[in-house]
Amino acid sequence: MHADEIHQKLLDKLAELSQRLEKFNLAGYLEQLNNPRRYLMVNFVGGLVRGVGIALGMTLLGAFVLYILQKLVVLNLPLIGDFIAELVRIVLVYL
């Protein structure tokens, strides 16, 4: 290989690497790591948002399950009604 060809291949690889690093926003990530206060704040706020999301999701899911159980009790199905009555009895015993 000629020296110019090697030089051009190195320049092409360097340009490709530069584009990949820019795509991953590595500079912004390194800047965030160099500022511990900002890093902690971003992670704290992210944790709060995830916690609120989990709580809200579980509340909605629980409300939906209770709604379905109420509808099943109104239908007065023998097997399901007995199961729900037993479940209520167990919950009342352990409260």
Mean pLDDT for 15-19 is 87
- The radius of gyration computed from the CA coordinates of the chain, to the nearest angstrom, equals 30
Residues 45, 20, single domain; the answer is no
Taking each continuous run of H as one helix and of E as one strand, the counts in the chain are: 4, 0
Which pTM does this prediction carry?
0.52
Residues 52, 94, single domain; the answer is yes
Residues 40, 30, single domain; the answer is no
Please give the backbone phi and psi of residue 21, each rounded to the nearest 5 degrees, phi first.
-65, -40
Give the integer Cα–Cα distance in Å for 71 and 23.
Answer: 52
State the virtual CA torsion across 83, 84, 90, 95 in degrees, nearest 10.
Answer: 170
Residues 44, 21, single domain; the answer is no
DSSP 23: H
At 31-84, the pLDDT tens digits run 777 888 988 898 999 999 999 999 999 999 988 888 887 777 777 777 777 787
Residue 42, domain extent? 36-95
What confidence score (pLDDT) does residue 95 get? 64
